[in-house]
Amino acid sequence: MSLLTLGACSADTGALDPRGPAAAETAGHWWLLFWLGLAVYVAVMALLLYAIMRARRQEDPDSSPPIDDRALFTVGGLAIPLLILAIVLGDSVRTGQSVIDPPDKPGVTIEVIGHMFWWEVRYPDHDVVTANEIHIPVGVPVELRLTSADVIHSFWVPQLAGKRDLNPGKENVAWIQADEEDVYWGQCAEFCGVQHALMGKLVIAQPEDEFEQWIADRQDPASEPADEILQAGMDVYFQAGCAMCHGIDGITDPDPPAGSPGPDLTHIGSRMTIASAIEDNTYGNLTAWIVDPHQIKPGVRMPPTDLDAQELDALVEFLLSLE
């Protein structure tokens, strides 16, 4: 597995380095809990120290003036904890509300369908299908419609928003917004099987015009390969059974419907990563993946292949030509 892809993201990918409104609210709540917890800890430790010193200083502890038990109980045991709990409850209700509703009308709607162990990504208003790399325009709320094709998964891009489950047969709606252009790393956050830990994704936040261009490029179907090697690669693609699980718009017909077994490969050549964002999309990685994906993600739902070097080369060239 290569961590090179993570190099493309910002160094800190955690929830405490928020880059969107929902994540900022959540981080704010986290800091409130942290500072309150720290204050209570320091106060309790100070009292403990005070008690120890006081007992040591006196030869006969019973001679010291009695502590006013009632005041200690009402203030320290009741009033202060109630106040702290009220603050925490109030802020957690407020945070909960603000992460549920987007600040504005969503700019784009994206359907995300969880699979063992990758993410199907569809832009229903634009007729675009892709996988694992979710492009969004920067600065606008993006509506996510989340479902699953098999077991429960959970959508989590820590710098943009909290987690939200993808359930089979029931749609959950969530929203994300990125305030800065960047590539944000995400992970499946609900244990879904052997390769759960390698079920990553990238959210690529781009300026509006670049995003529109990306969408427009993705709407073009692939065209029949012109050159001989690519043509041979396409033949291998069909002979090796890849088309049973993977659609290539314009080449495999009919295009597989939502929930199909493998990621759409119409524009695989232009993706940065493969295998749900865990490897860079290079000739070498792609070749190794096709030879035996189980070397990279044991238990993955794609079979190994038995192609000779020439067939493999043509197949990989063909896939990389699909931009």
Q: How far is the CB of 234 from ligand HEC (least distance, A)?
A: 11
From the list 141, 262, 266, 280, which residue makes contact with ligand HEC (rule: CB under 6 A)?
262
Number of C-alpha atoms within 13 angstroms, CB side, residue 232? 13
How far apart CA 300 and CA 290 sit, in angstroms, is 12
Give whichever of 163 and 301 is closer to ligand HEC, judged by the CB atom: 301
The piece of 14-22, 50-58, 163-171, 255-263 that touches ligand HEC (CB under 6 A) is 255-263
If one asks whether residue 242 binds ligand HEC (CB under 6 A), the answer comes out as yes
**Within 186-205, which residues bind Cu ion (CB under 5 A)?**
188, 192, 199
Count of CB atoms situated within 10 Å of the CB of 126: 15
Q: Cis peptide before 211, with omega less than 30 degrees from 0?
A: no
Report how far Cα 211 is from the mean position of its chain's Cα atoms: 19
- Establish if 241 lies at the interface with ligand HEC (CB under 6 A): yes
Helices 21-57/80-100 angle, 10° precision: 170
135 binds, among ligand HEC, Cu ion, none (CB under 5 to 8 A by kind): none
CB closer to ligand HEC, 131 vs 251: 131
Contact positions with ligand HEC (CB under 6 A) in 152-211: 195
Cβ proximity to Cu ion: between 137 and 186 the closer is 186
- Please give the residues from 37 up to 76 whose contact with ligand HEC meets the rule CB under 6 A: none
Residue 130 binding partner per list Cu ion, ligand HEC, none, with a CB distance cut-off of 5 to 8 Å that depends on partner kind: none
How many Cβ atoms are within 10 Å of 214's Cβ, its own excluded?
Answer: 19
Query: Is cis: bond before 254, omega within 30 of 0?
Result: yes
Q: Is 151 in the site for ligand HEC (CB under 6 A)?
A: no
Nearest to 146 by CA among 114, 116, 194: 114
Using CB under 5 A as the binding rule, the residues of this chain from 128 to 167 that contact Cu ion are 153
**Among the listed residues 138, 146, 290, 314, the single contact to ligand HEC using CB under 6 A:** 290
H or E element at residue 205: strand 200-206
Site string for ligand HEC, 119-148 (x = CB under 6 A): ------------xx----------------
What distance in Å separates the CA atoms of residue 301 and residue 285, rounded to the nearest whole number?
18
Element spanning 321, H or E: helix 309-321
Stretch in the footprint of ligand HEC (CB under 6 A) among 46-54, 121-129, 222-230, 257-265 = 257-265
CB-based contacts of 272: which residues, under 8 Å, 6+ apart? 5, 8, 133, 183, 202, 280, 281
CB of 261 to ligand HEC, least distance (A): 5
Residue 130 · residue 121 · CB < 8 Å:
yes
Which residues of this protein are in contact with Cu ion, per CB under 5 A? Answer: 153, 188, 192, 199
Which residues of this protein are in contact with ligand HEC, per CB under 6 A? Answer: 117-118, 131-132, 195, 240-242, 244-246, 261-263, 265, 268, 271, 274-276, 286, 290, 297, 300-303, 305, 315, 319
